[in-house]
Amino acid sequence: MTRPILETDGLTKRFGSLVANDKLSVTVEEDTIHGVMGPNGSGKSTFFNTVTGFYRPDGGTVRFDGEDVTGWKPDEIARRGLARTFQIPSPFEDLTVKENMLAVFTGGIRSGVRISEEKRARADELLELLEIDHVADQEAGGVSGGQEKLLELGRILMLEPACVMLDEPTAGVNPSLRNRLLDHLETLNDRGTTFVIIEHDMRVIADVCDRVTVFNQGQVLVEGDFESVTSDERVRDAYLGGAAEHDASLETLIGEGSNASTPEGTGDADTGATAAAGATPDAGTEPTPSAGGGAVPADGAGEAAGSAAAASTASALSGIGAEPDGEPWLVGEDLVSGYGNHRVVDGVSMESRDGVTCVFGPNGSGKSTLLKTLAGVVPAWEGRVTHRGVDVTHNRPAENVHRGITMLPQDGGIFGDLTVRENLLLGGYTVDDGAVREERFDEVLSSFPELEGKLDERGRSLSGGQQMMLSYGRAMMTGAEVYLLDEPSSGLAPSLIDQVFEMTRRLVESGAQVVLIEQNVREALRIADYVYILAQGQLQFEGTPDDLTDEDDLVELYLGLD
């Protein structure tokens, strides 16, 4: 029971300057279900890929079942007994479910020539076990998303692996099917199969995992059972955003890891960081007390500096003539949307309010999809969206921009091949009056003086921080009254986060309502006026930041616990 079946020692994988896996040492005991969790980009999928031979490690070893399998090819590792699934199932769509099972190459070239009775029997047994035998003769391309996941698992089990690595097995699977899947996992586990699963749904981790390893920034943050892991302060920091600069003890604990790897991950953003800090010295000079649970809504740092600028910018930037009136301008009711046959947003009602409306939630909870549904990028399957009382459910994003609703996509969405000037001018594409456009152009430049010297450079040549400024500036050129911001701080050096919030406040001060998605919950709570928390595509909480004083509640809501 205590024999380790899979061990990695100092496993390292780099992509250029990004260290995706930084000396990971993980031990999986035989006959356990081992959970791997960690925030977005913490290196979980890379770990799977490196262990199972899809990536060549840059350092360290992988031992499986007492044998060193470092550098083996994926198929060799799979036949050795270490199998895996992928986040997105990829069955042979034109074959039937059963044929998919039989198509698994179980060993030796002969298995490809004649299918043994034994293999057929095993396929039938597995189909029955996974309760997908009723669709055995249907084409795999036609089964539901959940059945696809089960088929993926079944195909892997055809190899009779000793250990199976599952990459988000329950993502996009409805709750009843999820429970079935988990039952199957436990049954198979009882029969002696070891599982390693990447999972975002904390209920799954809590239900089935014997042991949990938490990754952060490519390193192992904590390892232990679920209770001890989720109550660990470092895990909370990893998920809710570190408040390291305010807490010396935390800094010493995780400071090394985060400081070492973040700037590398964001590439040239750090050069922008220093430049940006020079340009706006007001940002971050006033440390805001947010280390504890007490969220300070809105009126904190940077406001004094921001409001002076805002007083002058308000005139041209709020081109629609917006003035806060206490009414929600953009309202979504019972929205359901998703991709293909995956329901991502499952009946969410939310509205934009005066100030900053924050949407929090773990990775995969449907935040971005919700925002895109509001903006008209992803069509709503059910429910409706209204803007100032007018139904805009079926509007395209461009039509919404005309109405005064714009969105900043996660990558900023700037035009990389166009110059900064052209980017900004295109921001005013919907503005017919050239004079207004000129005026706004000047206002934006005075808000972001750093861009002024770069007007004739291409968008892609800017640093990460400058690109983000350009993205904000371009959005301001549209003269929107509702801004939908999809994680503007993602991919930026931590030192720039203050600046992102500063710019977000500035939008508010120009009279706009802002909906903000943010991973760094603790930081974002500083500027939030209203909070929605999503998990599994459903609303878990809505209210003012004051209602969130107990951080334990926040953790539970955020991690999607009941």
Partner 1 sequence: MRSSFLSDACCREAPAVALGGVSGAPAGPADALGGLAALAGTFDALGTHAVLGLSLPSPTIFAQYFVFAVLLGGIYGLVALGLTMIFGVMDVINFAHGALMVVAMYAVLVFSDATGLSPFFAIPFAVVLLFVLGVVVYRSTIAPIIDAPQENQLIVTFGVLLILVSGVEMVFGSDPQQLGLDLGSLNIAGVFVPQGQLYALVIALVALAGTWLFLQRTMLGRAIRGTADNRDGAQYVGIDVPRIDALTFGIGAALAGLAGGVIPLFQSFTPALGDQYLINAFVVVVLGGLGSFPGAFVGGLIIGFIQVFGSAYLGGSTYQIVIFMAFILVLLVKPEGLLGGSADE
- The only residue of 328, 427, 464, 491 in contact with partner 1, by rule CB under 8 A: 427
Whole-angstrom Cα distance, residue 273 to residue 260? 15
Quick check: helix, strand or coil at residue 453? coil
Please report how close the Cβ of residue 408 comes to partner 1 at its closest, in angstroms. 7
Whole-angstrom Cα distance, residue 428 to residue 451? 17
Binding segment for partner 1 (CB under 8 A), chosen from 15-23, 188-196, 340-348, 419-427, is: 419-427
Whole-angstrom Cα distance, residue 387 to residue 405? 9
- Report angle CA 464, 469, 471 to the nearest 5 degrees: 95
Please give the DSSP secondary-structure letter assigned to residue 458: B
Angle separating helix axes 175-190 and 145-157, nearest 10 degrees: 10
Smaller CB separation from partner 1, 229 or 407: 407
Please report how close the Cβ of residue 203 comes to partner 1 at its closest, in angstroms. 33
Binding segment for partner 1 (CB under 8 A), chosen from 36-44, 422-430, 518-526, 541-549, is: 422-430
Q: How far is CA 499 from CA 272, 305, 462, 474, in A?
A: 11, 12, 16, 16
Please report how close the Cβ of residue 395 comes to partner 1 at its closest, in angstroms. 11
Question: Using CB under 8 A, which residues numbered 375 to 404 contact partner 1?
Answer: 375, 377, 396-399, 401-402
- The only residue of 53, 409, 494, 511 in contact with partner 1, by rule CB under 8 A: 409
Question: Using CB under 8 A, which residues numbered 30 to 89 contact partner 1?
Answer: none
Question: x/- site string to partner 1, residues 337 to 376, per CB under 8 A?
Answer: --------------------------------------x-
Question: x/- site string to partner 1, residues 445 to 474, per CB under 8 A?
Answer: -------------x-x-------------x
Please report how close the Cβ of residue 12 comes to partner 1 at its closest, in angstroms. 29
Smaller CB separation from partner 1, 23 or 458: 458
- The number of beta carbons lying within 10 Å of the beta carbon of residue 267 is 16
- Report angle CA 555, 560, 562 to the nearest 5 degrees: 95
- Number of chain positions touching partner 1 (CB under 8 A): 32
- The only residue of 186, 422, 439, 457 in contact with partner 1, by rule CB under 8 A: 422
- The only residue of 42, 217, 463, 478 in contact with partner 1, by rule CB under 8 A: 478
Please report how close the Cβ of residue 454 comes to partner 1 at its closest, in angstroms. 15
Please report how close the Cβ of residue 403 comes to partner 1 at its closest, in angstroms. 9
- The only residue of 129, 260, 418, 436 in contact with partner 1, by rule CB under 8 A: 418
- The number of beta carbons lying within 10 Å of the beta carbon of residue 321 is 9
Please report how close the Cβ of residue 344 comes to partner 1 at its closest, in angstroms. 18
Burial 506-541 (b: 16+ CB within 10 A, else e): bbbbbbbbbbbbbbbbbbbbbbbbbbbbbbbbebbb
Render 83-147 in DSSP notation, one character per residue: EE--SS----TTSBHHHHHHTS--STGGGGTS--HHHHHHHHHHHHHTT-GGGTTSBGGGS-HHH
Burial class of residue 336, CB neighbours in 10 A (0-12, 13-18, 19+): middle
Please report how close the Cβ of residue 474 comes to partner 1 at its closest, in angstroms. 6
Burial class of residue 301, CB neighbours in 10 A (0-12, 13-18, 19+): buried
Of 538, 526, 81, 25, the C-alpha closest to 293 is: 526
DSSP E strand boundaries for 388-451: 390-391, 405-408
- The only residue of 117, 190, 325, 417 in contact with partner 1, by rule CB under 8 A: 417
Smaller CB separation from partner 1, 46 or 504: 504
Query: What number of helices (H) and strands (E) belong to the chain?
Result: 21, 21
Q: Does 436 bind partner 1 (CB under 8 A)?
A: no
- The number of beta carbons lying within 10 Å of the beta carbon of residue 17 is 10
Binding segment for partner 1 (CB under 8 A), chosen from 58-66, 205-213, 263-271, 421-429, is: 421-429
- The only residue of 54, 92, 381, 415 in contact with partner 1, by rule CB under 8 A: 415
Binding segment for partner 1 (CB under 8 A), chosen from 65-73, 118-126, 254-262, 406-414, is: 406-414
Burial class of residue 342, CB neighbours in 10 A (0-12, 13-18, 19+): middle
Q: Does 413 bind partner 1 (CB under 8 A)?
A: yes
Please report how close the Cβ of residue 287 comes to partner 1 at its closest, in angstroms. 34
- The only residue of 71, 416, 449, 543 in contact with partner 1, by rule CB under 8 A: 416
- The only residue of 477, 492, 533, 548 in contact with partner 1, by rule CB under 8 A: 477
Smaller CB separation from partner 1, 325 or 432: 432
Of 105, 146, 98, the C-alpha closest to 123 is: 98
Whole-angstrom Cα distance, residue 370 to residue 58? 39
Q: Does 425 bind partner 1 (CB under 8 A)?
A: yes
Binding site for partner 1 (CB under 8 A): 375, 377, 396-399, 401-402, 406-409, 412-418, 422-423, 425-427, 429-430, 458, 460, 474-475, 477-478
